[in-house]
Each structure stands twice: as structure tokens, then as C-alpha cells.
Amino acid sequence: MAKAVNTYDKAGVDGDWICVGALAAPHGVKGDVRLKSFTENPVSIFKFKDLRLGADGKAILLSKKAKNKDGFIVHIDGFDTPEAAAAFSGKQLYIRRDFLPQAADDEYYLTDLIGLEARDEHGTRIGVVEAVENFGAEDLIELILDEPVKGLGRFALIPFRKLLVPTVDIKGGFLTVAFTDWQETQTGKQAESQMDQGGSS
């Protein structure tokens, strides 16, 4: 299995554009704003030369003012009041996919998983990778399943571990999921939840 390069924590992809950060509330009276970087090394976001507000949106120029517990305090060139900064709250920052460094032959970016065909242990197609998420614990691949699974529906979040995703073939356009094993873990969780609910009644 080739090495996955976790370039950013959230694989926000819109066509050829990759989300690398998000702006938050204003800070101070000079138009500064809080920034959360999604790059693996948070400070790397300041190295991108063409940051956009949204996919293919307006280009902006950031300057770093300070670091805080959630990211950085930054200033956006040309916006010098708290009122102007407030308009950026919640806006996401994107770069073009081809601005990312070229991955080595045995590496790939997590965003490269999006759009791959998902196959089960027997090589049968079960769906497609819709997104890669990370809610703080580990990377998860989100599948849209061709056929709904009882109790789970059409969507599945699979932990991106070699045990559950043993094969990733970027050139071949697919990855393999130990789908039966994963379903068993979900069935076990559902049973535990039902027992807990029964015990608390």
C-alpha cells in the first residue's frame, strides 16, 4: 500500500480546487481575523501564492500577525476594519490542486482517493469514494454505496486503516475495502447501543 500524504486535515475538494483553511471571527480593531489552517504543517498555508476565497474565487493576500491556540491571527490586505473582517467569517480558502507539491511515486494525497471506485474483498464494486473526513481521531473515507445496506443506508464512513482498506490503486482507479469486516463492527456497535438503551429504560 502506497503512503498517503496527509496534506491537510479536511479533504475539501471542488473540481481542481483544494480547501486548505478557513477564516473565523474578527480579532481586534485593525481588521485582523482568525485563521484555521488545514495543512499538515499549519504554517505552510502562508507559502501558497494564490489563495482564493472559495473555489476559483477572489484572490487574497494574507499576512501572519500572531499564532493562537486554534491557528493564527492574520490580516487580509486591503481590509482594515473589524466590520470588513467580519465579512470573511466562515469563508474557506482554496488553492489549485496543481499547486500542491508533486507526490513521490509511492505516495499519493488523500484527496486522490476521492472519486475512486470502492471494491469489496472479492473485487466486486460496492460504490465510490465521495470524500475524506477527519473529525479529530483518524482519517475516514466516505463511500456512497451502489446499494443501501440495512441499518446503514447509502453512506459508509470507513476508517482509513490498512486492515480495512488494504489496497489503494490510484492509477487503476480503485481501492479495496474489507467491507464484511467493517459491517460486522457496525452490527456490534448497534447491538451495544440497543443493549444500553434497554438497560437504561
Model pLDDT for residues 52-64, shown as the tens digit of each residue: 998 889 999 999 9
Q: What is the pLDDT of residue 9?
A: 45
Note the pTM of the prediction, 2 decimals. Answer: 0.62
| Cα distance between residue 187 and residue 22, in whole Å | 36
Mean pLDDT of 110-127: 91
Residue with more model confidence, 86 or 187: 86
Ranges of beta strands (E only) in 3-79 are: 3-5, 13-14, 17-27, 32-37, 51-53, 58-60, 62-68, 71-76
Least confident of 13-22, 24-33, 68-77, 182-191: 182-191
| Cα distance between residue 44 and residue 63, in whole Å | 13
Q: What is the pLDDT of residue 114?
A: 86
All structural domains of the chain, each given as residue ranges with its CATH number in brackets, are 8-100 (2.40.30.60), 114-200 (2.30.30.240)
Q: What is the pLDDT of residue 25?
A: 92
Residue with cell 448497534: 190
| Cα distance between residue 89 and residue 28, in whole Å | 14
Model pLDDT for residues 120-163, shown as the tens digit of each residue: 999 999 999 988 877 666 788 999 999 998 878 899 999 999 99
Model pLDDT for residues 6-52, shown as the tens digit of each residue: 554 445 666 678 888 899 999 999 999 999 988 878 898 998 889 99
Q: What is the pLDDT of residue 107?
A: 75
pLDDT of 99 above 70: yes
